[in-house]
Chains A and B, each alone.
Chain A
Amino acid sequence: DAKTTQPNSMESNEEEPVHLPCNHSTISGTDYIHWYRQLPSQGPEYVIHGLTSNVNNRMASLAIAEDRKSSTLILHRATLRDAAVYYCILRGYDYKLSFGAGTTVTVRA
Chain B
Amino acid sequence: DTGVSQDPRHKITKRGQNVTFRCDPISEHNRLYWYRQTLGQGPEFLTYFQNEAQLEKSRLLSDRFSAERPKGSFSTLEIQRTEQGDSAMYLCASSLKPAQETQYFGPGTRLLVL
Contact = CB atoms under 8 A, between A and B. Distances in A.
Interface of A: 32, 41-46, 49, 85, 87, 91, 93, 95-102
Interface stretch (B36-44, B62-70, B71-79, B80-88): B36-44
Interface in B95-110: 98-100, 102-108
Contacts of B31: 95
Contacts, number: 52
Given A87-B42, A97-B103, 19 more contacts: A32-B100, A43-B93, A46-B102, A46-B104, A85-B42, A93-B99, A95-B31, A95-B33, A95-B48, A95-B98, A96-B33, A96-B56, A97-B33, A97-B43, A99-B42, A99-B43, A99-B44, A101-B41, A102-B42
Contacts of A49: 100, 102
A99 B93 CA distance: 14
B102 A96 contact: no
Contacts of A98: 45
A42 B107 contact: yes
Contacts of B40: 101
Contacts of B43: 44, 97, 99
Contacts of A32: 100
Contacts of B103: 44, 46, 97
Contacts of A41: 107
